[in-house]
Structure 1
Amino acid sequence: MRYRVRHLTEYVYGAPVTLCYNMAHLLPRDTGNQTCLSRRLHVTPMPIYQTEGTDYFGNPTYYFSIQEPHKKLTIDVECLYEVTPLELANQLTLGSITCGELRQLLTDAGTPELRMVKEYLLNSPLIPRTAELAAFAQDTFADHVPVLQAALDFTHKIFNEFTFDPTATSVSTPVDQVLKEKRGVCQDFAHLAIACIRSVGLPARYISGYLETLPPPGQEKLVGADASHAWFAIYIPEMGWVEFDPTNDLMPSDQHIVTAWGRDYSDVTPLQGVIFDGGDSQNIKVSVDVQRC
């Protein structure tokens, strides 16, 4: 399957910004079933300095600096992807290791790979481990349950017990509030799943990207109506990192497009940086289009 993804971000400031330094996680990342065939990135005003790099987690990064006064900043990224469907049926037959066995493997951590995986057991800036979170997940991730089955069941649990509500949270809403109110968006559900999984001693990471959405039957797809998406992955030794989408109660295959992964959203924020001046207010508008080619 081929997808063309356009991600347009516009900032409008209350007063001119005289200087800005930024880092973006908007460039494509290749994965085991995803390849970027082409890409285009355009920033307005023209940066005086720009360079690409790779962050600690292997995600492509784009750094740029603008040193002329501007009241509007536009970052326009367009990429063409080739996405190969994952063999989910084969994955379901591979996941035999139990939660208890994985916890013991991580305690021993006898290989470099397992030692690196242990990083995803720790607290991260937006995801703490707590007894309350562990209590919510401990029955699902009991020692005798295969990790893959537990992750599937927990994805289903979040989907059934939580309500998608874009007005209930913000990017900084803590996971304990999401657990209490049982409302949120894809970022909240991914953070909650990761927080619970880590709280029961298993490794999980945050994934940011895009999801192909389809209009209701008989209606045309609106330009700019798509959005960024978030889901999570859990580590299973014989399988590697296996992905789950609790917002949609499924295992991603060929409709999810990965941009970046890390410990939580703070590691893969689409744009972060420093501005000088700009007044007391700023408005941001994000438009995303995911189209099959």
Structure 2
Amino acid sequence: YTLDSPLIETSLQLAEYAKPSFTQGRSVTDTVNDLMQRIYRDFTFDPDFTTLATPLASVLEHRRGVCQDFAHLAIGCLRSQGLAARYVSGYIETLPPQGEEKLVGADASHAWFSVYIPEQGWLDFDPTNNIIPNTQHITLGWGRDYGDIAPLKGVIFGGQNHELEVSVQVECLTN
């Protein structure tokens, strides 16, 4: 998890973006938390900007993307500093605004990242929501990048103009 992967290549630009978070005397946990917060502040969630093929350099340049882009960005930044980081694929339970009912099927597939911290192990961070994942995050798997743990893979034969529609319902059964 320290080497480049098919969708995440370390670069001088990623190292430069990461650099302000890596201040002397700061713990690895605090450093990664700062990086997560900076990505949350500096980048705009824009589901129309990227596709699976959008290069990470474009996400960094335009400061927009989706959860997988933000996870890839953080991983690239961390690997550029020599840290082991991995892509996490799963689901997140979305909570409705105060006083409103939860919509059925409104939850979503989601991506975040983990960093390996000696003496502690793997710690998860969610730059899209600026939080440390908790019980609302459900991990399906880990990989070097999205390509290792895509939530859906396959081939469709025949016809034209296919469109996949998916809804997810995450519900806490215990309190």
User: Do they superpose with TM above 0.5?
Assistant: yes
Shift of 1:196: 0.9
- The range that moved more, 137-146 or 224-233, is 137-146
> Is 1:200 matched with 2:52?
no
3-state SS in 1 of match to 2:130: coil
Q: Is the 8 A contact 2:89 2:151 kept in 1?
A: no
> Is 1:286 matched with 2:133?
no
3-state SS in 1 of match to 2:72: helix
User: How many residues are matched?
Assistant: 173
Query: Which has the higher Rg, Structure 1 or Structure 2?
Result: 1
Find the counterpart in structure 1 of residue 71 from structure 2.
190
- The range that moved more, 168-177 or 129-138, is 168-177
Q: In structure 1, which of residues 223, 234, 247 is the aligned counterpart of residue 104 of structure 2?
A: 223
Shift of 1:121: 0.9
Shift of 1:263: 0.4
Pairwise CA RMSD of aligned residues?
1.4
Find the counterpart in structure 2 of residue 237 from structure 1.
118
Q: In structure 2, which of residues 60, 70, 86 is the aligned counterpart of residue 179 of structure 1?
A: 60
Find the counterpart in structure 2 of residue 271 from structure 1.
152
User: What TM-score, normalized to structure 1?
Assistant: 0.57
Structure 2's unaligned 5+ residue stretches are: none
Structure 1's unaligned 5+ residue stretches are: 1-119
User: What TM-score, normalized to structure 2?
Assistant: 0.93
Shift of 1:291: 1.4
Shift of 1:143: 5.4
CA distance in 1, matches of 2:23, 2:97: 40
- The range that moved more, 257-266 or 141-150, is 141-150
CA distance in 1, matches of 2:95, 2:3: 37
CA distance in 1, matches of 2:138, 2:149: 14
Output one character per residue of 1:164-208: Cα deviation in whole Å (capped at 9) or x when no partner: 111121222221111111111111110100011111211100001
Shift of 1:219: 2.0
Q: Is the 8 A contact 2:14 2:77 kept in 1?
A: yes
Structure 1 runs (4+) greater than 3 angstroms displaced:
none
Higher relative contact order at CA 8 Å, sep ≥6: structure 1 or structure 2? Answer: 1
Shift of 1:250: 1.3
> Is 1:150 matched with 2:31?
yes
Find the counterpart in structure 1 of residue 45 from structure 2.
164
Q: In structure 1, which of residues 211, 234, 241 is the aligned counterpart of residue 92 of structure 2?
A: 211
Shift of 1:239: 0.4
Question: What is the aligned-residue identity percentage?
Answer: 56
